Structure 1
Amino acid sequence: MNPILLYFLIFVIKVFEVSLATLRIVLITKNERVKGAFIGFFEVIIWVLIVSTVLTGITEDPFKVVIYALGFAVGNYTGSKLENFFAIGDSSIEVITHKIDGKKMAKHLRANGFAVTSVNAYGMNDKREILYLHVPRKRVPETIDIIRSKQDDVVITIHDIKPVYGGYKALRK
């Protein structure tokens, strides 16, 4: 086989395999174990095939290792970008706002289909309202845009969470 074509195949297949590994890990940590195991099955088959290709004749062509390592590095980057694109899982959003704005913001968020829990709080100089939301990660940017459209000096904290069960508009039943 043409060495350039072989290098290209090693690189592309390694990028694909590491991207699968990234998605598998995310799925498993988000309690999607069956999907993660399914991906893992194919990931290992690809890994065995690509490693055996790289190790065959390694002393005559050590450049294959460099291409393999480059594919690994690019695969990590690509996998993380894919994970962000798919936005697997759920997030918890905490919003700290002025008391006077909190009720209006909660009402506006609810009108846009979000479940909101509101708690009275006290800041250093005045009363505050803390709003809690659990949303699919895909809706986080939309949620932030809605919040910022009502108040720009709000404090927003976002955490990735494991699945939520129960509650109004439950993410999982």
Structure 2
Amino acid sequence: MGVVLFILFIQIAYVTVSTLRLIVMMKGNAKLAAVISFGEIFIYMIGLATVLDNMDTWYNLVVYCLGFAIGVYTGSLIEEKMAMGYVMVQVITRREDSDMPRQLREEGFGVTSWLGEGLSGERLVLMVLTKRKRQKELVNHVKRIDPQAFLVSYEPKTFVGGFWLKRAQ
């Protein structure tokens, strides 16, 4: 039973660390990703060696696979809590005279707005930059102001210029 639990926990640890390394690398921090990868492969080799040494029982392999699945889930939960980086949220509201830009700025969000043309008339378009940790808060503010607003978000990779650059660093 001890070997089974060891295999499960070592695999969960490996895949969780692997997920975090991938996220750190995607965010552009190659040095930290390299450091994390050392621990990742160390954990992997210990787990693999343990499974290979105990191939006499089929359930060790099943537990190894189960640990992988749980590790993927755990890694995604940790990443969600870390919420590294920034998001750009585009908001389109039917209310072209909306006070939404001012209200969002008062809440500390960076907002650029302009009038756009939709299928049935003018729309107010907002580009809102915020930390990922505040994305849900932003969405809640927008929905409170205009429950019919259309939102799309994406993660910007590069920042050049603008007043937000000083605040983002």
* Structure 2 residue aligned with 1:17: 14
* Structure 2 residue aligned with 1:46: 43
Q: Match of 2:155, SS?
A: strand
In the aligned structure 1, how far is the partner of 2:91 from the partner of 2:50?
52
* Structure 2 residue aligned with 1:109: 104
Aligned-pair CA distance for 1:62: 2.7
In the aligned structure 2, how far is the partner of 1:135 from the partner of 1:125?
30
Aligned-pair CA distance for 1:76: 0.8
What's the C-alpha RMSD, in Å, of the aligned pairs?
A: 1.4
State the aligned residue count: 167
* Structure 2 residue aligned with 1:149: 144
Which amino acid counterpart does residue 108 of structure 1 have in structure 2?
Q
In the aligned structure 2, how far is the partner of 1:105 from the partner of 1:135?
15
Mapping of residues 40-119 of structure 1, within 5 Å: 40-58=37-55, 60-97=56-93, 98-101=95-98, 104-119=99-114
Q: Unpaired runs of 5+ in structure 1?
A: none
In the aligned structure 2, how far is the partner of 1:44 from the partner of 1:54?
15
In the aligned structure 2, how far is the partner of 1:125 from the partner of 1:48?
60
Q: Match of 1:26, SS?
A: helix
Which amino acid counterpart does residue 12 of structure 2 have in structure 1?
V
Q: Match of 1:127, SS?
A: strand
Q: Unpaired runs of 5+ in structure 2?
A: none
* Structure 2 residue aligned with 1:125: 120
The answer to whether the 8 A contact 2:88-2:154 is kept is: yes
Aligned-pair CA distance for 1:163: 4.1
Aligned-pair CA distance for 1:107: 0.4
The answer to whether the 8 A contact 2:100-2:142 is kept is: yes
Q: TM-score, normalised by structure 1?
A: 0.91
Displaced runs of 4+ in structure 1, greater than 2 A? Answer: 163-166
The answer to whether the 8 A contact 2:85-2:132 is kept is: yes
In the aligned structure 2, how far is the partner of 1:16 from the partner of 1:166?
40
The answer to whether the 8 A contact 1:165-1:172 is kept is: no
The answer to whether the 8 A contact 2:92-2:150 is kept is: yes
Which amino acid counterpart does residue 110 of structure 1 have in structure 2?
R
Aligned-pair CA distance for 1:16: 1.3
* Identity %, equivalent residues: 30
Q: Match of 1:6, SS?
A: helix
* Structure 1 residue aligned with 2:28: 31
Q: Bigger shift: 20-29 or 161-170? A: 161-170
Which amino acid counterpart does residue 73 of structure 1 have in structure 2?
A
Q: 1:157 to 1:107 in 2, by over 3 A?
A: same
Which amino acid counterpart does residue 16 of structure 1 have in structure 2?
A
